[in-house]
Amino acid sequence: MWVYDKKLQFPVRVSGPNPKLAKSVITQYGGPDGELAASLRYLTQRYTMPTGRSIATLTDIGTEELAHMEIVAALVYGLTQGASIEQIKAAGMDGYYADHDKALYFVNGDGVPWTASYIQSKGDPITDLHENMAAEQKARSTYEYLIQLSDDPEVTRVLCWLREREVVHFQRFGETLNHVQEYLDSRKVF
């Protein structure tokens, strides 16, 4: 169970409607390296972690990824609100609009729906922690690409903050990997 503070972890503002940018940013909502995949991966893998500390790390980061999903949703929502049908068509979002109007839906930038095949839970803590470190690096790369695509300084500011959180998560997973390896290598005497 979590305690929910009803505010975003980082404030989100957009300069105005920009469905073209929304179409790119939505990949971090429902794409293969996005926040939904990350949160589900970590919150699932935590059950096979061998120590309280490693369980706590996956729980903490998985929960934070849910908060990041809200931030990305707020960005996409803000970028589509007030957009005209002409802007939506020009952005190539007419198919998305036909299915979802301006509602949020878990898709990548090309409109492909989220799938559970985006995540892995192997049950081996070393394998899963390596998977998580790779996932954080892929998310960091995606945020860097989105920053390059952004023409909205307010959106860019949020994307930069999200990218930095991916770096922190990578570091925490590295620390947790070292901790788990030490635990697994230690001599157990009963």
CA–CA distances in Å: residue 146 to residues 62, 95, 99, 185:
22, 22, 24, 41
> What is the structure's pLDDT at 2?
65
Both ends of the chain: CA-CA distance in Å?
Answer: 33
Residue by residue, what is the 3-state secondary structure of 58-108? HHHHHHHHHHHHHHHHHHHHHHHCCCCHHHHHHCCCHHHHHHHCCCCCCEC
Average pLDDT over residues 15-22: 98
Residue 4 lies in a domain: no
> What is the structure's pLDDT at 117?
94
Query: What total number of domains does the chain contain?
Result: 1
Residue 14 lies in a domain: no
CA–CA distances in Å: residue 70 to residues 53, 94, 121, 190:
26, 24, 24, 46
Residue 6 lies in a domain: no
CATH number of the domain within which 37 lies: 1.20.1260.10
Residue 144 lies in a domain: yes
1 band by pLDDT with thresholds 50, 70 and 90? low
Residue 163 lies in a domain: yes
Angle between helix 125-149 and helix 52-80 axes, rounded to 10 deg:
20
> What is the structure's pLDDT at 21?
98
Contacting residues for 71 by C-beta, under 8 A, at least 6 apart: 8, 9, 10, 12, 158, 162
Q: Which domain holds residue 132?
A: 19-114+121-183
Question: Which tokens in the block code for residue 189?
Answer: 């005497």
Report d(CA 111, CA 107) in Å as an integer: 5
Residue 188 lies in a domain: no
Residue 39 lies in a domain: yes
Residue 9 lies in a domain: no
**% of residues, the chain, pLDDT over 70:** 98
Determine contact, residues 75/21, Cβ cutoff 8 Å: no
pLDDT tens-place string over residues 28-49? 999 999 999 999 999 999 999 9
Provide Rg for the chain, Cα atoms.
18
